[in-house]
Amino acid sequence: MLLKRYIPIAIVAFFGALTLSAWFIDNETIETFANDDATQFFDIIAAFAVFLGALNLLKLQFLKVLKQQSGWQYSAIAILSFFFAFIIGFFVRGAYFVGEEVYFSQRAAEQAVISLGTSEVVVPVDWGAHVQTDGSLFQWMFKYIFSPLSATMFALLAFFVASASFRAFRARNFEASLLLVAGIIIMLGRVPIGSLISSWTIMYILAFCIGIGINSYAKSRNVMFGWILGSCGAITGFGMTMGWPIDQPSIFFLPALQEWIYLVPNLAGSRAILIGIGLGIVATSLRYIFGLEKSYLGE
């Protein structure tokens, strides 16, 4: 009980309090621990977590292949891809320079020196640097296999996002209608066609929409037509006076309006969410420090 429960809680409480105190105590040793040592501890733990996650992934995919469950062929491809990337990352240098040319294997580089008949020497890239060297086998895999597959995945996700947006933007109530209008303004304001739609067009559309809303609540066509004729006449007179500039009044110009929505209401909502996340982190951290949160013990 002591080794499995109280000692881990004491270790977490001590290091948690020590890291937290670095923000309130002006001490160079404590600040160095919080900014450097604690960060390195986290990186080490994260590396082990990635290793365990990879083993768990392989376990699940192997079981799926052995049992030949639905889609086991894709699991087989995932296993082969994992070992391919693992091998060329840890066991194959994959980058041998002969002058400015790079070759995937030392044998190919040596044959190139013989065929060229030059005095160039084969220069291998240092281990660790081979995963970031342009022209290496690992970079070739990343550039010509991983990147196109990622781009394809994100391209497919765009259709799912569009489908989800269509379902979410249905104007069932005021909040959904507000989300729908804001989404339309953002989408139109960020594409080239949005800058071709004048402010006056938006004002005419807004006048018609308000007229439809008046008819829905007042149930009077006379009031609706009176509003539409009056507002359209006022907009026309105002436009003739100003000379119909495409971006004036700027409040109805889609690029300017979407920028305001993005920088004011959206930023305010994002900051509110971040404040909530910060308070949640503080509460969770205090629970760990005081030993109230024991999920890492399996409880």
Per-residue pLDDT of the chain (299 residues; tens, 9 = 90+): 666 777 888 888 888 888 888 878 888 888 888 888 888 888 888 888 888 988 998 999 999 999 888 889 999 999 999 998 888 888 888 888 887 788 888 888 888 888 877 777 788 888 888 888 888 888 888 888 889 988 898 888 878 877 776 776 665 777 777 777 887 888 888 888 888 888 888 888 888 888 888 877 777 778 888 888 898 899 888 888 888 888 888 888 888 888 888 889 889 999 999 999 999 988 888 888 887 877 777 66
Whole-number pLDDT of residue 63: 92
Residues 85 and 163 in one domain: no
Q: Mark 128-148 as b/e (b = at least 16 C-beta within 10 Å).
A: eebbebebbbbbbbeeeeeee
- Judge whether 112 lies within some domain: yes
What is the span of the domain harbouring residue 150?
92-168
At residue 169, the pLDDT reads 65
Q: Which of 50, 68, 91 is the last residue of a domain?
A: 91
Q: Among 41, 63, 91, where does a domain finish?
A: 91
Q: Are 96 and 69 in contact (CB under 8 A)?
A: no
Residue 2: per-residue pLDDT: 65
- Check residue 209 and give its pLDDT: 83
Q: How far apart are CA 30 and CA 18, in angstroms?
A: 7
Give the CB-side neighbour count of residue 2, counting CA atoms within 13 A. Answer: 0
Does any domain span residue 79? yes
Assess whether 86 and 121 both reside in one domain: no
Question: Quick one: 70 and 122 in the same domain?
Answer: no
CA torsion, ordered 164, 166, 169, 170, to nearest 10 deg:
-120
Residues 83 and 110 in one domain: no
User: Of 143, 168, 193, which residue constitutes the final position of a domain?
Assistant: 168
CB 258 within 8 A of CB 186: yes
In a domain, 163, yes or no: yes
CB 289 within 8 A of CB 13: yes
Instruction: List C-alpha distances in Å: 52 to 55, 57, 264, 299.
Output: 5, 9, 43, 20
**Residues 27, 103: one domain?**
no
Q: For the chain, how many residues are written?
A: 299
Indicate the number of domains in the chain: 2
Supply the pLDDT for residue 277.
94
Q: Indicate if 116 and 162 belong to the same structural domain.
A: yes
Residue 236 lies in a domain: no
* Whether residue 112 sits in one domain with residue 55: no
Residue 214 belongs to some domain of the structure:
no
Rounded CA separation 46/109 (Å): 37
